[in-house]
Amino acid sequence: MKSTHYVAREADERGFIHYPEAEHGVWNTLITRQLKVIEGRACQEYLDGIEQLGLPHERIPQLSEINQVLEATTGWRVTRVPALIPFQRFFELLASKQFPVATFIRTPEELDYLQEPDIFHEVFGHCPLLTNPWFAEFTHTYGKLGLAASKQERVCLARLYWLTIEFGLVDTRQGRRIYGGGILSSPKETLYSLSDVPEHQAFDPLQAMRTPYRIDILQPLYFVLPELKRLFELAQQDIMLMVQQAMRLGLHPPKFPPKVA
């Protein structure tokens, strides 16, 4: 597991997390900016979730506030974790309908991009769609499969997660929209993902599992769902059979240069 210089904030005996004013200021900057950027670009299911969550703009929300909404809509909840957690813990949480949230926020110096998932990425990027039953069901199924998977199978599943939950697009009657949390929490990637620069392919889970990715660049390829319900339908299919097929067929050539050490 990689190291990080960020440390998740502890809750007090009442479960309340105290953040300094400067960190509330960072949250305000991020959410105010990103709500403008995603206008006309985020899918409707995500926007419905944002409305239901009613995220505060002037301060970092408490996890209990998020849980009130998630538990009432899909039975999910968020759980405080350190900055980075092992695969095993990640799958355990998803399998029990708990979404991990690291309770730290990026510094002003890393406002536009950081490799570790912070509370803005997790809450603003992912939690709105956890109010949607289709998305929630897929995420739950994914967690259960990952929990039972081998180390090699988990690597394959990670590619599926990356190219759907983190960096997925969806076609709608209004046009192409974003549902991936990695895109929705990034102003640069929000604009870039819908531009003519990257490649767009119709979503195919088998091909997604065979597609290598890098976490530190704008994605060269995005998979596009025909509708968000496709994730729910995928959850009813034999995903592990697809994993076995993907492992037999091997990886596609990467569409990006190798990382310079």
User: Which residue of the set 23, 122, 166, 189 is catalytic?
Assistant: 166
Report whether 221 contacts 201 (CB < 8 A).
yes
What pLDDT sits at residue 3?
A: 62
What pLDDT sits at residue 261?
A: 65
Read off the pLDDT of residues 159-211 as tens digits, 9 standing for 90 and up.
999 999 999 999 999 999 999 999 999 999 999 999 999 999 999 999 999 99
Read off the pLDDT of residues 9-28 as tens digits, 9 standing for 90 and up.
999 999 999 999 999 999 99
Task: Report residue 84's pLDDT band, with 50, 70 and 90 as the boundaries.
Answer: confident
Distance (Å, whole) CA 176 – CA 194:
7
To the query of whether residue 121 is one of the catalytic residues in this protein, the response is yes
Q: Sign of dihedral through CA atoms 218, 223, 226, 228? A: negative
pTM summary value:
0.95
To the query of whether residue 126 is one of the catalytic residues in this protein, the response is yes
What pLDDT sits at residue 129?
A: 98
- Give mean pLDDT, residues 101-121: 91
- Give mean pLDDT, residues 132-154: 98
Distance (Å, whole) CA 108 – CA 131:
30
Distance (Å, whole) CA 5 – CA 109:
13
**Residue corresponding to tokens 């950027």:** 37
Distance (Å, whole) CA 204 – CA 160:
10
What pLDDT sits at residue 1?
A: 47
The candidate with the shortest Cα–Cα distance to 115, out of 4, 30, 212, 35, is: 4
What pLDDT sits at residue 2?
A: 53
CA-to-CA separations, 236 to 47, 87, 134, 137, in angstroms, rounded? 25, 23, 11, 9
User: Which residue of the set 126, 140, 189, 193 is catalytic?
Assistant: 126
Among the listed ranges 21-30, 80-89, 140-149, which one has the minimum average pLDDT value?
80-89
User: Which residue of the set 185, 186, 189, 193 is catalytic?
Assistant: 185
Q: Which residue has the higher pLDDT, 1 or 104?
A: 104
User: Which residue of the set 23, 45, 121, 189 is catalytic?
Assistant: 121
Q: Sign of dihedral through CA atoms 225, 228, 231, 232? A: negative
Read off the pLDDT of residues 213-251 as tens digits, 9 standing for 90 and up.
999 999 999 999 999 999 999 999 999 999 999 999 999
Indicate the domain borders of the chain.
21-249
To the query of whether residue 166 is one of the catalytic residues in this protein, the response is yes
Pick the CATH number of 21-249 from 3.40.50.150, 1.10.800.10, 1.10.10.10, 1.10.3210.10: 1.10.800.10
